[in-house]
Amino acid sequence: MDLVSIIIPVFQVEPYLDKCIESVVNQSYRNIEIILIDDGSPDCCSVMCDAWAEKDNRIKVIHKQNGGLSDARNVGLQSAQGNYVAFIDSDDWIDLRFIEILYKAIVETEAEISACDIRKVYEESEERITSIDAIKVQLSTPREAIQDILYDRRFRTVVWNKLYKREILINERFETGRYHEDEFFSFRIFDKAKQLAYVDIPLYNYRQRNGSIMTSFSLQHLDMLDAYLKRIELLEKKYSDLASKDKLNFCIACVNLYCGILMRNKDEKQKAKERIYSCRKQIRFSKEELSTYSWKDKLYIIFSRKEWIEPVCRIRILRMNKADE
């Protein structure tokens, strides 16, 4: 059995950490190494990680100064010894057959990456057990997997519902100091694969909680636009039929982010506006390309331009406020 390295960055997740680690140590696939990266967590997570390492010799703990999620994952990659690698977020948890099923999907199909469906779990929702009967594996090309990113389905842009052959991650690193780090990472890795496998079973439990990176807004969320630009650059070179869809996604993101800045950030509002203007200026549409969009899509393209975006966003916010009254 191949060794599988499971990398878990840990930072301020004291209420959730035990559940996450317990789901990993109890995996039906036993030949695993569990790398806990204590990213300078100021709570009791450091002590909890060490306590788990005392219980299970497959667990290795690395304590480091806080450097963010990307930096922690990179440290884990440097330490990993397995032929396969998985990333788990420390406030989530996985089905007990997560590694077994994703490993089997790769081995039987000779894919380089396998992925599973996810289940969003809210604080107030009841925990459900996944019923696993017949397992169907769907094969995808890199183009099809990248297309899934654009439509937020199946493979998705996140790294934590997947298992990777170690060889496809050689010389790959997460961009440090970035929000939306998976947006910079996944499309590059998908493009390197020859084949990807998808298991249509929710084996990953994605906890939805207040105050997490993805439920709070800051100027760093504008990193998403830089990730879009890099992905569009690749699409225009290798998957030109997908570029138009992603350029539309980019314009929609510009409008949504601009609204977020107007509603939630006052101190650095002008700096954020200029960054959005600068990014949007880099996206151009030909007349032929514009003719392929629906009228609604064309409005987003127009409204994301510098001369339109602020009045459109202010009208949207005004309507939202009236709806809440």
**pLDDT for residue 124:** 62
What is Dmax (Cα atoms) for the chain?
A: 64
Question: How would residue 220 be classed by pLDDT, with cut points 50, 70 and 90?
Answer: confident
Mean pLDDT score of the chain, rounded to an integer?
A: 92
Question: How would residue 214 be classed by pLDDT, with cut points 50, 70 and 90?
Answer: very low
Q: Which tens digits make up the pLDDT trace of 187-204? A: 999 999 999 999 999 999
Please give the residue that has the higher pLDDT: either 31 or 324. Answer: 31
Nearest Cα residue to 179 out of 69, 42, 67, 39: 69
**pLDDT for residue 177:** 87
* CA–CA distances in Å: residue 23 to residues 9, 50, 193, 206, 256: 15, 17, 29, 13, 36
**pLDDT for residue 325:** 62
- In this structure, the strands spanning 84-87 and 162-165 are antiparallel
* CA–CA distances in Å: residue 193 to residues 19, 84, 166, 188, 200: 32, 14, 12, 9, 20
Q: Which tens digits make up the pLDDT trace of 266-306? A: 677 888 999 999 999 999 999 999 999 999 999 999 999 99
Over 70: is that where the pLDDT of 184 sits?
Answer: yes
**pLDDT for residue 131:** 67
Question: How would residue 265 be classed by pLDDT, with cut points 50, 70 and 90?
Answer: low
Q: Residue 96 is encoded by which pair of tokens?
A: 């007990």
Nearest Cα residue to 115 out of 89, 77, 86, 91: 86
Element containing residue 310 per DSSP (H, E): helix 306-324
The residue ranges of DSSP E strands in the chain, in sequence order, are 4-10, 32-39, 59-64, 84-87, 93-94, 113-122, 137-140, 162-165, 196-208
**pLDDT for residue 213:** 41
> Which whole number is the average pLDDT over 93-122?
96
Over 60: is that where the pLDDT of 242 sits?
Answer: yes
> Half-sphere exposure of 301 toward its Cβ, with a 13 Å CA cutoff?
21
In a 3-state reduction of DSSP, which class is residue 271? helix
